[in-house]
């Protein structure tokens, strides 16, 4: 069976056909594995491909169908998992040398929920090391390439997941979003990327970067597929102390409600910081929502532009604490030394890449005596100001509209020598993480060099319903060709590029 035939209609159609017995989960899984194997030398979306486990999972789904049992709402749907999500017995590396050889003894909650819903995991995707990056270039296993143009980045840190969906290797993938790591690569790869409200999805089994900011969410080709995936993974988990007990909304119903009377605020402060095509896409999206019956106006929230500086104090501070556990004793890599202190230092020096070391040192510095109040405490005060600014905006708006990224996908290597320039890639996504709110990137237009442009929809905490309503209206009028899947030229000039 061809991949085109197997994946026709997206994840929900695959599940419906598998549940009816029209299509076997094994056939779909085999098609996905064939596509992954063919594209991997060029794109490098995956760190680990779990072919045997995937086929066994597919066979289990088919057995349930034959027995007349319900295999779940994602029956037989191939899904890729970011390689910072624990998977029992499968290498979980966070794209770092320091975790080489580590195999978790348990599944992350989201992984277990997807399996219970009938989804079939086909592998672990590449990411910036410990999710610290905006281009998937800090990975110890080498960069992932954007299927729209393999000379360009897919974004980060969840670049492997975004590129895998954009290339049509899988219809669904999971990523994590600490400062935009789902939405930014979704925009650069022309797919849907959804960051839920903090606490709506359990973080149990997610290898922590910055615990007050991290959140897990889906990549998909359509909003309907993303909404169903969120429906499956959302909900209270007693193993996560930050997990919300709030009932989970019916996201599929929300998608159908339309935007008549929905109050939409266009974040004017971001438009002046975006490239021409990214700003133009937001204006076109605003016009489209107005045409569909929404009440659209511009809003000024200048405080959001301070989110970047606050984030790069808060997130490294949390990372410096979370990554202290990688000491050469309990996980992965160990480089021996004359004593414990030397062993710790050598292990961390060999195991962590430059960007991770940079953030650990920055985080340790801002938490140190004499600097805590000047830097970390001040950043937390800015975070409070941003929360208050969002609250004022949402008094008059149900959702906010903004660019997802400042530009289209940039060339590999273009920003690696300038960390600040790389950090600016997340200028429009970071404020949402600081607030703990949901946000969504919808592929909407084509920009420079025919590359995709995403538009971002933001909502208040637990506002996924109105966010999805606005997203569905945008999806309905998006430019033809702005959304994946795209087929990379496997025989072109980039063929055979080393990982």
As beta bridge partners, residue 124 has 48, 81
Task: Give which of 497, 448, 467 is closest to 223, Cα–Cα.
Answer: 467
Q: How far apart are CA 423 and CA 70, in angstroms?
A: 45
CA distances from 255 to 16, 345, 377, 473 (A): 19, 51, 40, 9
82 as an active site residue: the answer is: yes
From the candidates 157, 158, 161, 320, give the one annotated as an active-site residue.
Answer: 157
Q: How far apart are CA 387 and CA 303, in angstroms?
A: 10
Q: How far apart are CA 139 and CA 165, in angstroms?
A: 19
From the candidates 39, 139, 158, 181, give the one annotated as an active-site residue.
Answer: 181
Contact 266, 401 (CB under 8 A): yes
157 as an active site residue: the answer is: yes
With a CB cutoff of 8 Å and minimum separation 6, the contacts of 22 are: none
> Please, where are the H alpha helices in 7-97?
10-20, 25-43, 51-66
As beta bridge partners, residue 481 has none
From the candidates 24, 39, 82, 195, give the one annotated as an active-site residue.
Answer: 82
Phi-psi group of 407: left, alpha or beta (phi > 0 → left; psi -120 to 50 → alpha; rest → beta): beta
Q: How far apart are CA 81 and CA 95, in angstroms?
A: 13
181 as an active site residue: the answer is: yes
- Which amino acids are annotated catalytic? 82, 157, 181
């Amino acid at each position: 069976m061809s991949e085109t035939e197997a994946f026709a209609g997206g994840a929900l159609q695959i599940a419906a056909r598998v549940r009816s017995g029209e299509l076997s989960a094994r056939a779909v899984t085999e098609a996905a594995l064939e596509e992954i194997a063919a594209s991997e030398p060029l794109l490098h979306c995956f760190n680990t491909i779990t072919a045997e486990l995937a086929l066994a999972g597919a066979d289990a789904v088919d057995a349930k169908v034959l027995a007349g049992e319900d295999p779940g709402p994602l029956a037989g749907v191939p899904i890729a998992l970011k390689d910072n999500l624990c998977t029992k017995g499968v290498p979980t590396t966070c794209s770092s040398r320091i975790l080489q050889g580590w195999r978790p003894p348990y599944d992350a909650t989201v992984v277990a929920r997807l399996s219970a819903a009938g989804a079939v995991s086909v592998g672990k995707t590449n990411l910036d090391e410990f999710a610290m990056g905006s281009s998937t270039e800090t990975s110890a296993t080498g960069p992932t390439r954007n299927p729209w143009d393999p000379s360009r980045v897919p974004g980060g840190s969840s670049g492997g997941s975004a590129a895998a969906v954009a290339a049509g290797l899988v219809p669904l993938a999971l990523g994590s979003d600490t400062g935009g790591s789902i939405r930014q690569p979704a925009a650069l790869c022309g797919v849907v990327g959804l960051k839920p409200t903090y606490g709506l999805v359990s973080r149990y089994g997610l290898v922590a970067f910055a615990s007050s900011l991290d959140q897990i969410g889906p990549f998909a080709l359509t909003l309907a597929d993303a909404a169903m995936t969120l429906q499956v993974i959302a909900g209270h988990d007693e193993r996560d102390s930050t997990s919300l007990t709030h009932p989970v909304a019916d996201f599929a119903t929300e998608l159908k409600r339309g935007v008549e009377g929905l109050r939409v605020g266009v974040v004017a402060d971001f438009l002046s910081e975006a490239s021409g095509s990214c700003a133009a896409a937001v204006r076109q999206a605003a016009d489209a929502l107005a045409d569909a019956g929404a009440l659209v106006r511009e809003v000024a929230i200048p405080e959001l532009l301070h989110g970047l500086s606050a984030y790069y104090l808060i997130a490294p501070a949390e990372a410096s604490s979370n990554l202290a556990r990688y000491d050469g004793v309990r996980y992965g890599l160990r480089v021996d030394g004359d004593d414990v202190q030397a062993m710790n230092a050598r292990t961390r020096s060999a195991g962590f890449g430059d960007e991770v070391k940079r953030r650990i040192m920055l985080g340790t510095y801002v938490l140190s005596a004499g600097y805590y109040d000047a830097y970390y405490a001040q950043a937390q005060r800015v975070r409070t100001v941003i929360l208050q600014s969002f609250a004022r905006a949402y008094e008059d708006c149900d959702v906010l509209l903004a660019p997802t990224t400042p530009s289209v996908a940039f060339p590999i290597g273009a920003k690696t020598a300038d960390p600040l320039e790389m950090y600016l890639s997340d200028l429009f996504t970071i404020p949402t993480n600081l607030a703990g709110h949901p946000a969504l990137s919808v592929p909407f237009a084509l920009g420079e060099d025919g590359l995709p442009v995403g538009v971002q929809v933001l909502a208040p905490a637990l506002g996924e319903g109105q966010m999805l309503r606005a997203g569905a209206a945008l999806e309905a009028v998006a430019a033809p060709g702005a959304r994946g899947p795209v087929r990379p030229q496997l025989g072109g000039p980039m063929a055979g590029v080393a990982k």
